[in-house]
A and B are shown apart, each in its own frame.
Chain A
Amino acid sequence: MAGLATSFGSGAMTNSFAELAHSKCLFVIGSNTTVAHPMVGMRLIEGRRNGGRLIVADPRRTALAKLADIHLRLRPGTDVPLINGLMHIICEHGWQNSNFISTRTENFEELHDSLRQWTPKYVADVTGVPQDMLLRAAELYARSEASAIVYCLGITQHRCGVNNVRSLANLAMLCGQVGRAYTGVNPLRGQNNVQGACDMGGLPNYYPGYQKVEDCAARAKFEAAWGCTLPARNGLTTIEMMHALHDGHIKAMIIMGENPVVSDPDAGHAAEALSRAEFLLCLDIFPTPTTELAHMVLPGASFAESEGTFTNSERRVQRVRQAIPPLAGRTNSQIIAALSRRLGHVMPNDEPCDIFDEMCALTPIMAGMSHARLDTQSLCWPCPHQEHPGTPILHQTGFTRGRGLFAAIPHVPPAELPDEEYPFLLSTGMRHAHYLTGTMTRRCGILERELPELTADIAPADARRLNIREGARMRLTSRRGSIVSRMHITDSVPEGVIFAPLHFAEAMVNLLTCPALDPVSKTPEYKISAIRLEKV
């Protein structure tokens, strides 16, 4: 989020899913879309069928990569060199959109100067992508009438995640492929309501609607509305909180519906940090490795027991409706409001439609929404007033921040690369039948039959060399931990790379991953860590 917000002024997907079926060129990078976002995957395939050209940049030969016109099989962690290289070629050939650059953007010179070193030959050396492929991809993206970029955690879950995203923003602005239909820079969110959690101010530095905590006027507005004095300093991020717990600066944690013991990039550290809390309060629908550490666990209501809204990746706010009463007797809103009252702050609203109205009145980008309106039609924000139809395409006349901001983006190699002791590069992600840490999907019978245990992918040449047979069990060890996994031999991973999904609490891949953080977004480097394989 931090990357796009700096370049454009908003971190959200710029265009809508449906538009992807009509783009002339689709550039998909760091997204295994058909697995992680099946409906967006459908749109991409539809776009391909409608004659759109498909470029996929991914070290793995994913299902989508097999359908691509051009598969850029870059080395893991070389996204910035790849994109800088494409921009170098675009400028060399004069394919950039000079009109867009001069009227809509600033700081182009800085980017332009920085591209000089990224010659096709150098880029081919760093990324492993042949020069002629770089040329074809650059021309296709730059010269198509409408090109859209789609990316996901494969771009953001790196130590250099913010750089990766800003690079993609550079590319789109350079070619004027943003602010129009069927174009844009489109991050796909990993979870159903990530967009909403951010929009609602579930962030240490923002109130709802991206109004800054450190902006005195914004703070005064919320103080007046909520009837209390608010703390003026930004709070800590998730990872910083884990460190503060570890160091004893944080004494109590409240965790609603998250499972950091499994999802944290350095899972061993998260568990240890949480076990130091004087008081850990969890609200969840299932027991998880995180609730195991709690002092108190409150039983939450699932989506099927709740009224409200979710906001999908394309900023579309959609209704969630209660189908059955809460199994444990209370809605999550009632639980939060009851706690608040006991801690001395009485909340006037605990009915979802009233909470939503209160929020919209304080949040300009959603001021025109209400449950009643959403009952007839879902709406994409910004939707500033009640007659407004919503905004599927952002930045049409100007960027949210005014002019789009170019920046020179340096290459920051992964924090941990394979070496003699840990010769394989581990990359993590999802499989089709499960979702994230598996708390929900692993309790669905059919899904569990599809994929009952951890299976890691290994390239045929590596398997031969180490004498590993299909289905064999191997120990995967990194500098931080060790797990056992079955092995699946497939050429979808390149030599030297092991891919493993993170859904299995009994074999937590995140015990292995590397806790290096992006310095700006604090996103951990899930995508790359070094491991070795041993027979068990």
Chain B
Amino acid sequence: MDIRHTATTCPYCGCGCGLTLETSQGRILRTSPTPHSPVNEGRLCIKGWNVHDFVQHADRLRKPLLRTGSQWQNLDWDNALDIAAARLAHIRDTYGPDSIGVLTSARCTNEENYLLQKFTRCALRTNNIDHCARL
């Protein structure tokens, strides 16, 4: 079996423990502490040890979904992005850019956060962006 180890960072609390995901054929088998991480020095809390459980949970969303009445309809990516962009452009151009608001995420990476605020400011043309850290 082809086993890989990927050193990464825990997605839960602000400690930011180094954890290593053990994978085989696209599945995570195990989580363990990254030995030399300066934050956790070989330790993890109960949430960290079990982190892979949620990643591969059966409830994970796998397809873009569009609401049609009381139903959800599966879409392919291109179709979904076309519809989303058209709706946003329509609202931006009808009511003005400040009629759109964006919540970015204290769970997502720096790169994703940077990109989403840039998108909000450049493409939607509003500064209505915040996250729930105040919360």
Q: A residues bordering B, Cβ < 8 Å?
A: 1, 17-18, 36-40, 42, 188-205, 207-208, 213, 222, 226, 228-231, 233-239, 241, 244-245, 249-258, 260, 263-265, 278-279, 281, 284-287, 291, 294-300, 302-313, 316-325, 327-330, 332-333, 335-340, 342-345, 347, 350, 352, 355-356, 358-359, 378, 432-435, 440-441, 443-447, 450, 521-524, 526
Q: Are B109 and A297 within 8 A (Cβ)?
A: no
Scan B72-98; emit 1 where CB is below 8 A from any A CB, else 0: 100001001111111111011001011
- Given A298-B64, A359-B111, the answer on whether A39 and B123 have CB atoms closer than 8 Å is no
Q: Are B83 and A447 within 8 A (Cβ)?
A: no
- Given A231-B121, A235-B128, A340-B119, the answer on whether A251 and B95 have CB atoms closer than 8 Å is yes
- Given A192-B10, A299-B64, A342-B85, the answer on whether A316 and B16 have CB atoms closer than 8 Å is yes
Complex Cα distance, B15 from A313, in Å, reads 6
Chain A neighbourhood of B113, CB < 8 A: 193, 196-197, 200-202
Out of A208, A234, A265, name the residue touching B117 (CB < 8 Å).
A208
Complex Cα distance, B111 from A203, in Å, reads 15
Q: Are B111 and A258 within 8 A (Cβ)?
A: no
Q: Does B32 belong to the interface (CB within 8 Å)?
A: no
Q: Are A304 and B8 within 8 A (Cβ)?
A: yes
Out of A251, A263, A303, name the residue touching B9 (CB < 8 Å).
A303
Chain B neighbourhood of A38, CB < 8 A: 13, 15, 45
Q: Are B21 and A304 within 8 A (Cβ)?
A: yes
- The total number of A-B Cβ pairs within 8 Å is 420
Q: Are B13 and A284 within 8 A (Cβ)?
A: no
Give the dominant DSSP class at B's interface: mixed
Chain B neighbourhood of A352, CB < 8 A: 109, 111
Complex Cα distance, B102 from A304, in Å, reads 24
Return the chain A residue nearest B17 by Cβ.
A39
Contacts beyond the supplied A201-B113, A327-B60: 14 A-B pairs with Cβ under 8 Å: A193-B109, A235-B101, A241-B130, A253-B101, A260-B135, A298-B84, A302-B54, A316-B16, A324-B26, A332-B112, A339-B123, A340-B118, A345-B119, A446-B53
Q: Are A260 and B14 within 8 A (Cβ)?
A: no
Chain B neighbourhood of A235, CB < 8 A: 98, 101, 126-130
Complex Cα distance, B130 from A323, in Å, reads 29
Q: Are A39 and B91 within 8 A (Cβ)?
A: no
Q: Are B55 and A197 within 8 A (Cβ)?
A: no
- Given A197-B133, A279-B87, A281-B84, the answer on whether A308 and B109 have CB atoms closer than 8 Å is yes
Q: Are A37 and B13 within 8 A (Cβ)?
A: yes
Return the chain B residue nearest A308 by Cβ.
B109
Give 6 closest A-B pairs by Cβ, nearest first: A312-B16, A235-B127, A308-B109, A189-B14, A342-B85, A257-B105
Scan B31-50; emit 1 where CB is below 8 A from any A CB, else 0: 00000001110010111001
Complex Cα distance, B15 from A352, in Å, reads 22
Q: Supply 28 A–B pairs (Cβ within 8 Å), ascending by A.
A: A36-B13, A39-B40, A193-B105, A195-B14, A196-B109, A196-B110, A197-B105, A197-B106, A238-B130, A252-B88, A254-B102, A256-B112, A258-B132, A263-B132, A265-B135, A281-B88, A284-B61, A287-B61, A304-B52, A304-B55, A306-B109, A313-B15, A319-B8, A355-B115, A356-B114, A441-B12, A441-B47, A526-B135
Q: Are A342 and B15 within 8 A (Cβ)?
A: no
Nearest-Cβ distance from residue A285 to partner chain B, whole angstroms: 6
Complex Cα distance, B11 from A310, in Å, reads 8
Return the chain B residue nearest A432 by Cβ.
B46
Chain B neighbourhood of A322, CB < 8 A: 6
Nearest-Cβ distance from residue A47 to partner chain B, whole angstroms: 15
- Given A257-B105, A295-B66, A309-B111, the answer on whether A192 and B11 have CB atoms closer than 8 Å is yes
Nearest-Cβ distance from residue B105 to partner chain A, whole angstroms: 3
Q: Does B108 belong to the interface (CB within 8 Å)?
A: yes
Out of A230, A252, A317, name the residue touching B101 (CB < 8 Å).
A252
Out of B21, B40, B59, name the residue touching A323 (CB < 8 Å).
B21
Complex Cα distance, B131 from A522, in Å, reads 12
Nearest-Cβ distance from residue A426 to partner chain B, whole angstroms: 17
Q: Are A343 and B85 within 8 A (Cβ)?
A: yes
Out of A192, A207, A228, A252, name the residue touching B12 (CB < 8 Å).
A192
Q: Are B81 and A443 within 8 A (Cβ)?
A: no
Chain A neighbourhood of B39, CB < 8 A: 17, 39, 312, 316, 318
Q: Are A200 and B66 within 8 A (Cβ)?
A: no
Out of A194, A298, A311, A336, name the residue touching B115 (CB < 8 Å).
A336
Complex Cα distance, B86 from A295, in Å, reads 13
Complex Cα distance, B18 from A236, in Å, reads 35
Q: Are A324 and B91 within 8 A (Cβ)?
A: no
- Given A39-B15, A299-B61, A345-B119, the answer on whether A264 and B111 have CB atoms closer than 8 Å is no
Q: Are B14 and A312 within 8 A (Cβ)?
A: yes
Chain B neighbourhood of A241, CB < 8 A: 101, 103, 128, 130
Q: Are A258 and B115 within 8 A (Cβ)?
A: no
Q: Are B91 and A330 within 8 A (Cβ)?
A: no
Out of A230, A302, A324, A440, name the residue touching B23 (CB < 8 Å).
A324
Out of A213, A279, A321, name the residue touching B6 (CB < 8 Å).
A321
Nearest-Cβ distance from residue A338 to partner chain B, whole angstroms: 5
Q: Are B133 and A200 within 8 A (Cβ)?
A: no
Q: Are A298 and B52 within 8 A (Cβ)?
A: no
Q: Are A342 and B81 within 8 A (Cβ)?
A: yes
Q: Does B1 belong to the interface (CB within 8 Å)?
A: no
Chain A neighbourhood of B23, CB < 8 A: 323-324
Chain B neighbourhood of A445, CB < 8 A: 50, 53
Complex Cα distance, B107 from A195, in Å, reads 10
Return the chain A residue nearest B134 by Cβ.
A523
Complex Cα distance, B89 from A339, in Å, reads 10
Chain A neighbourhood of B92, CB < 8 A: 343
Nearest-Cβ distance from residue A236 to partner chain B, whole angstroms: 5
Nearest-Cβ distance from residue A170 to partner chain B, whole angstroms: 22
